[in-house]
Every structure is written in structure tokens, then in C-alpha cells.
Amino acid sequence: MLKSGKNYYEILGVTPDIETAQLKAVYRRLARKFHPDINPDGEKMFKDITEAYEVLCDETKRRQYDTLNGFFKSAKKPENSGETYRKTFRKATESSFQTKSSSKTSKHQDEIKFKNSTKDEKFFTEMINDIIDGFSKTSKKKHTKKEEKPVNGADIYTDVSISLKESISGTHKIVNVMQTCVCPKCRGRKFINDSKCSECEGKGEIITHQKINVTIPAKVKDGAKLRLPGEGKKGINGGKNGDLYLKITILPDSFFSVDGNDLTCEVPISPFEAVLGGDIEIPSLNGGNVLLTLPEKTKSGQVFRISGKGLKKNNLVGDIIVTVRIQIPDEISDEEINLYRKLKNLSGKNLRENLI
């Protein structure tokens, strides 16, 4: 009944020569650590240590278990029990041989029995060795810790916002990535000395923030996705890291609006620029400014097109479309006001005469 493939001493982390009082202390500590109410992942371990303790704390059951499984108090480790078996067997065999040899009077008969006894001893020694070695190998095989399989890290998805100008020329951005990794203090066990790990608060994992310098290529489109291999969550047990995916969002521009490949904008002009015409400068997303030539008597709301200065997509280049608005400055000098009065007197045209 007590012949078991389980090494109760190894389960409790003790040696076969441990005293019962010490055994109780060890069991209480382990029971607190792996009790399902405290550690939901420790149910199986709790059952194993309870089973081991119920056998080893009972002197009769422990004696039967030690005898059937080859454990002796004189041994420091379960693996040494095979050597104890061998010594015990040899001692018993030698004693039996000496008794039999001394009880015989015939020298010839003693020599024959000596040879037979030697053969028997050799046979039984080899047999016991085979049995013990087989038990030892089986025990080691059963209690060898299984290698944990590698687990690949998960992918991370996040958004990156850039300006319209940055989308055309390209840029660099610092991206903050939230990583989840195994707690370095408890190594994922969640508990230290029967108490929740103070570093991860019993979660077995910690969250860290990592800054990654990302290169945004030129002429990237709104909604485009960029993949950064190996920058996702870390793999476990040698598993590959996940990837980082960035979704690009192009922010609205304060001056330009996008219409396909064209850039549209609205530009204020002064009254004298509208009347006299001339060159005015228009900002460009490609760097620097471009010139727009206004004709004389330009009207407010008039639309002009600057070719080849828009966005380049699919091997096509758009234009800049400019709408001009005549605007009166907020601050006007007395001299300018007098000049406007002279213009008023000089003007003989009523712009509203055809309204009715």
C-alpha cells in the first residue's frame, strides 16, 4: 500500500533522517504557502505535501514506507539508499557464509560449498544491484523537473500621431511601450517566505515602460501601419519576442487641408495688393516658400493654383490651391486713413447701385 513512485522526502524538501518535530514544522510552513485559499495555483502541491506528511508523521507508516522504498535514517539523501542496501546484503551474506563454513568438518566439502556460496553471493549481489539501480534510475526519472516549453511574447499595438509636414518629410518619434514581464524578485512565484511578493503584490508580473525611438518614413499615409519586429512583449523560457505595430494618424494642419494629392489653403491680402497686384509668398510643406503672382484688380475669394507643389502619391504630384481674401489690417495709421479719404473722393463708382 505504501510502495509509491513519489519521493515524500523530496516533496517536503527534507532528508530521511529528519525528526518528527522538525517534520511538523516543515509541513506547517509548506501548508501555509500552498493552501488553495492563499495560493490558487498551489492546490496540487498542497495535496502532495499533505499526503507525504500523513505517511511520514506516523511512525508505523513511515517505517513501512522507508522499508518498501529504500530509505534509511542513516542516509542523508534518498539516492544513497542503494548503497545501504548493498552493504546490508553483503554483511548478511558474509555472516551466513562464515556460519555455514565453520559448521562443516570436511575440507573438501568446505571448498565445494565455498565455491557454491561465492557463486550464489555473486548472483544475488548482481540481482540486488540490478533491482536497486533500476529503482534509482526510475526514481530520478520520475522526479526530474520537466523543462518548461518556450512561450512567444504577444504583439503590442499602439497609435502614433504626426503632423502633416512630418508625414511628407519623415520624422523620428519616441514611443512609450508598456511591457509586462516576470517579477525579478519572486521570479513569478507570487509569494516570498509565505507572504505576497512586495514587488509585484502577488501577481508574479510587473509592468514597465520602455521608450523606443521610431523612424517614421517620408510620404507615409494616414492610417498606415508600421511593424517593428521583436519590440513587443518579451518571450518566456527562450521564446521569441512579439512585434510592435504602430498605426499612423496624421493630425489636421492649421494652414493646409488635404484634398487627394492637392493642398488647399486660404491667404489674406491687403486692399492695395488686390488693386495693384504683385508677388506674394505662400508657405510650402516641402521647405521654404513659393511665389504666387496676383494680377491687378484681384477680387476677394478668387482662387489660384500653384502647379506641382502639392503631395506626391502613386507617382502623381498634386498642386497648391490658394483662395485669397481681402483683409483690412487691425491697426491703421492716420496717414493711411487720410489716403483712404482721398480715394473715396476720387472714386465715382457706386458698387451697390445695382442691388435693387
Question: Of the segments 73-82, 96-105, 266-275, which one has the largest average pLDDT value?
Answer: 266-275
pLDDT per residue over 171-186, tens digit each?
A: 999 998 877 778 888 8
Chain mean pLDDT for the chain: 79
Give domain status of residue 352, yes or no: no
Give domain status of residue 351, yes or no: no
Are 176 and 283 part of one and the same domain? no
The pLDDT value recorded for residue 79 is: 46
Q: Specify the number of domains making up the chain.
A: 3
Are 281 and 216 part of one and the same domain? no
Give mean pLDDT, residues 305-327. Answer: 91
Rg (CA), the chain: 46
Give domain status of residue 148, yes or no: no
pLDDT per residue over 90-149, tens digit each?
A: 554 454 444 444 444 444 454 444 444 454 455 445 544 554 455 445 445 444 445 668
| Sequence-distant (≥ 6) Cβ neighbours of residue 152 within 8 angstroms | 235, 239, 240, 241, 242
**DSSP H/E element including 216:** strand 205-216
Give the pLDDT band of residue 65 (cuts 50, 70, 90). confident
Are 274 and 214 part of one and the same domain? no
Give the pLDDT band of residue 3 (cuts 50, 70, 90). low
Task: Name which of 312, 149, 175 is nearest 248 in CA terms.
Answer: 175
The pLDDT value recorded for residue 144 is: 47
Are 229 and 166 part of one and the same domain? yes
Q: Which of 213, 229, 250 finishes a domain?
A: 250
Q: What is the pTM assigned to this prediction?
A: 0.49
What CATH code is carried by the domain that includes residue 188? 2.60.260.20
Q: Which of 217, 250, 283 finishes a domain?
A: 250
Give domain status of residue 99, yes or no: yes
Residue 129 to residues 72, 73, 81, 134, 344: CA-CA distances in angstroms?
17, 21, 12, 8, 126
Q: Which of 143, 178, 195 finishes a domain?
A: 143
Give domain status of residue 134, yes or no: yes
Give the pLDDT band of residue 82 (cuts 50, 70, 90). very low
d(CA 29, CA 253): 65
Give the pLDDT band of residue 80 (cuts 50, 70, 90). very low
pLDDT at 320 over 70: yes
d(CA 16, CA 11): 12
Q: Which domain holds residue 186?
A: 156-250
Are 135 and 194 part of one and the same domain? no
Hey, how many other C-beta atoms are within 10 angstroms of the C-beta on 8?
24
**DSSP H/E element including 59:** helix 59-69
Are 123 and 31 part of one and the same domain? yes
pLDDT per residue over 4-36, tens digit each?
A: 568 888 888 888 888 888 989 998 889 888 888
Give domain status of residue 354, yes or no: no
**Helical packing angle, 107-143 and 81-102, nearest 10°:** 170
HSE-CB of 197 using CA atoms within 13 angstroms? 18
d(CA 282, CA 255): 11
d(CA 261, CA 256): 12
